Amino acid sequence: MINEKRVLDRFLSYIQIDSPTKHEREFAEFLMDELKRLGFEVYMDKAGDSVGSNSGNVIAKLKGNTEGETLLFCAHMDTVSPGRGINPVIKDGIVFSDGTTVLGGDDKAGIAAILEAVETVIENDIDHGDLELVFTINEEGGLYGAKNLEYDRLNAKTAFVLDSGGDPGFIVIQGPAQNQINAKFIGKEAHAGAEPENGISAIQMAAEAISKMKLLRIDEETTANIGFISGGEATNIVTKEVEIHGEARSLNEEKLQAQTDHMVKCCQDAAEKFGGKVEVQVEKSYGAFKVEEDAEIVVKAKEACKNLGLEPATTTTGGGSDTNIINVNGISTVNLAVGMRLPHTVDEHIYIKDLENSARLVLEIIKVYA
Ligand code: ZN
Ligand code: CA
């Protein structure tokens, strides 16, 4: 029932409108025009002001023609770099970039699926409850659009985010919490040749701390990483300052706390051992989410998949998405796979068939709830 040519054209036009993180305005206005044309009530919220984007989140609503439950569909408008001037190339039923940019299927595949589904609903006068759409800004920068979304404008208690890799039919029902852990080691400068005994090396402190840390795969539910280090000026100076930047994630909030405490303690012990100082900052990026396997949203999503002949499978992700944030705001939310492959690389691509199936899945979910 969805229009296969139109969903592809739609996707190709979306990815050719640049919308790098914090510069979503042009694409947001394009979507708002399209949504108005379809009969949605459209609003741009004020989230952009607090997160430094030139656009807010787009919120769109369509009154239902049945008493079915209100549904929210969400995808993010921003793309990672290199994401300007995307030039799609189609080969063997797959859309690629020209190899110099990402494709932007993350997450415009999700947006194309949602818009195609709602246009199909409207043109065929298909039964539907109230529909709410949210297209967020600044997801890639740290889920800031979703964190600053004007939730009081939404009525839905059930939401589908379309922003996961994997074949359509995968339903992400669990995601980790994440902490950012940054430590600044402060030692004492000294000439490395003339009087090294008067110095305290921040590099040695950082090395000591990191070497004592349990990192990478901690257990089934928990990971940790030191991602970059900065500091130092010259070989003949005992280094005064070094910063290390890391993260920890876990599906289990207690394990996340334990891993974070461990990393902080390694930093403090190292500073103490060398007689220096350390300033550690821990910032919670987002909380964990978990939707139960027998929750209505999962049961209905699976039913919609089966109706289409898609193999439903629930899964867990190691990454964060708007799903984490929307769940925390009291809306039961899962993340649906839309078939994006190798996102965040210039090799990103997507099968046209997956674009079509994602639109079909959104349409079928609307029908199942109507
Ligand atoms: Zn994404
Ligand atoms: Ca992404």
Q: What are the pLDDT digits (tens) for 157-197?
A: 999 999 999 999 999 999 999 999 999 999 999 999 999 99
In this predicted structure, the answer to whether residue 319 has a pLDDT above a threshold of 90 is no
Q: How many CB atoms lie within 10 A of CB 313?
A: 13
- Give the ligand whose atoms come closest to the C-alpha of residue 323: 1
- What are the DSSP calls for 303-358, one per residue? HHHHHTT---EEEE-SS--HHHHHHHTT-EEEEEEEEEBSTTSTT-EEEHHHHHHH
**Residues designated catalytic:** 78, 139
- Give the ligand whose atoms come closest to the C-alpha of residue 80: 2
- The Å distance, Cα 342 to ligand 1 centre, comes to 11
pTM here? 0.90
Asked if 131 and 50 count as a contact pair (C-beta separation under 8 A), the reply is no
Task: Determine the Cα–Cα distance for residues 334 and 301; give it in Å rounded to an integer.
Answer: 9
- Domains of the chain, first to last: 4-175+287-369 (3.40.630.10), 177-286 (3.30.70.360)
What is the CA angle 32-354-25, rounded to 5?
A: 20
Q: How far is CA 245 from CA 22, 254, 264, in A?
A: 23, 21, 12
Indicate the pLDDT class of residue 318, thresholds 50, 70 and 90. confident
Peptide bond into 82 cis (omega under 30): yes
- The Å distance, Cα 202 to ligand 2 centre, comes to 34
- The Å distance, Cα 164 to ligand 1 centre, comes to 7
- The Å distance, Cα 271 to ligand 1 centre, comes to 38
Indicate the pLDDT class of residue 96, thresholds 50, 70 and 90. very high
Partners of 228 in beta bridges: 245
Looking up tokens 């979306």, which residue turns up? 14
Please give the mean pLDDT across all residues of the chain.
97
- The Å distance, Cα 39 to ligand 2 centre, comes to 30
- The Å distance, Cα 106 to ligand 2 centre, comes to 6
Looking up tokens 């051992």, which residue turns up? 273
Share of the chain above pLDDT 90, in %: 99
Q: How far is CA 184 from CA 235, 238, 278, 279, in A?
A: 20, 16, 5, 5
- Give the ligand whose atoms come closest to the C-alpha of residue 336: 1
- Give the ligand whose atoms come closest to the C-alpha of residue 343: 2
Tens-digit pLDDT profile for residues 258-284:
999 999 999 999 999 999 999 999 999
